[in-house]
Amino acid sequence: MMTLIPAIDLINGRCVRLTKGDYTAKTEYAANPVDMARMFADCGITRLHLVDLDGAKASEPRNLAVLEQICAATTLEVEWGGGVKTTATLRDVMNAGARYVICGSIAVDDESLCMEWLSAYGAEHIILGADVRDGMVSTHGWQKDSSVSLFALVDKYMGQGLRQVICTDISRDGMLQGPNFDLYKSLLQRFPNIELTLSGGVASMHDLDVAAQAGLHHAIIGKAIYEGKITMEELRLWSQNE
């Protein structure tokens, strides 16, 4: 059964959602991130996608206090993304309670360092975050477009023992128009041993059913929850059947 991973995106310690990664197209929600995490845990959710958007822009984590509070208040396994550019900051994130660290920009900008982390911390803790626009990887909080293709990036790290990949289709993120299933099917076909997480575009439980049938291992849900398209009760029922 596919695992559902609710997302909490942070700016200034608050829950927000962006549209297509645009910081100027921001919606801020009243919910406190720790309270949201507790609600997810109460629904039987076991894993949380926590993104430090401030950290992604600043190239260093800025919301570690929220991570610490969530880990103290729940038993959720947290995957952290945003601002991890040095070994020191990676340690800070792990020490604050994160179970997984997502390597996004650093995987493009400093391959040797990312390979070093993969070797030192293991494939069970390091996740490749591939944020894609038109087949090419974007970095630095989706503010920069690289010349690296999605398949080339995944292929490089799979050869070094990588197992987990989160792939976000930026054009679908926050749009509530459904995921780019062709993208994920092509990834699974090319890399059948990958533990792949869908991110971007989930708008309904039907989308999640399709994703599960396609063989996706995990699916990140963000705006659909905050906009009431997917309810806490639906999350609870799915978690009970995992």
Can you say how many angstroms the Cα of residue 29 is from the centroid of all Cα atoms in its chain?
19
Query: Active-site positions?
Result: 9, 131
Sequence-ordered list of residues with C-beta below 8 angstroms from that of 231, at least 6 positions apart, any chain: none
For residues 27 and 104, what is the distance between their CA atoms, to the nearest angstrom?
23
For residues 222 and 205, what is the distance between their CA atoms, to the nearest angstrom?
13
Taking CA atoms, 15 is separated from 52, 56, 70, 82, in Å, by 10, 15, 13, 15
